[in-house]
Copies of this chain bind each other. A is one copy, B any other.
Amino acid sequence: MAQTERSGCPINLTLEQLGDRWSLIVIRDMMFGNRRSFGELLAHSEEGIATNILADRLKRLTAAGLLSRAPDPAHRQKSVYSLTEASIQLVPLLAHMGAWGRRHTPVSRELSVRAELLEKGGPPLWSAFMDELRHLHLAARRPPRSVFADFQSAYEKALARRARRSKP
């Protein structure tokens, strides 16, 4: 989708930037899954993103200032992609998408736990998460608590609960 600026409405302009099938999925995976390289994003894509689409989106989002890219100091073939302040500020938007989706679409329980926590935690939790993302992606100071760790442990609990529930 070309950047066409069909109108100056903020909702429209946000959609022109992010309103395709895959951009927010890439940002979600970096944000919640801490995927930072092409290979990680590809290998762990729940939705099965194609290589050409992933390459295209990483390039576009980087050009638009929503991601940044640096060489991986540990491995010369790889780049490390990071969120920028602009993409970190999408946390409330993604939280609302998660909340709406939990209510109106047939979500899987395990993949919903983060959305549930974000909804329950509200704006204070979102701010804490954004601070943590600034630490992980922008070299900001480490915040006192890890929202990320909360998400992970809730997800693992949900997986364990499911494994227990599916016992014969």
The residues of A with any CB-CB pair to B shorter than 8 Å are: 1, 5-17, 19-21, 24-25, 28, 46-48, 86, 89-90, 92-94, 96-112, 115
Most chain B CB atoms below 10 A, which of A15, A21, A115: A15
Most chain B CB atoms below 10 A, which of A10, A16, A47, A111: A10
The number of times this chain is found in the oligomer is: 2
Report chain B residues within 8 Å CB of A92: 96, 99
Report chain B residues within 8 Å CB of A100: 10, 14, 89-90, 93
**Majority SS at the chain A contact face:** helix
Measured in the bound complex, the distance between the Cα atoms of B12 and A47 in whole Å is 8
- Contact indicator B107/A8 (Cβ below 8 Å): yes
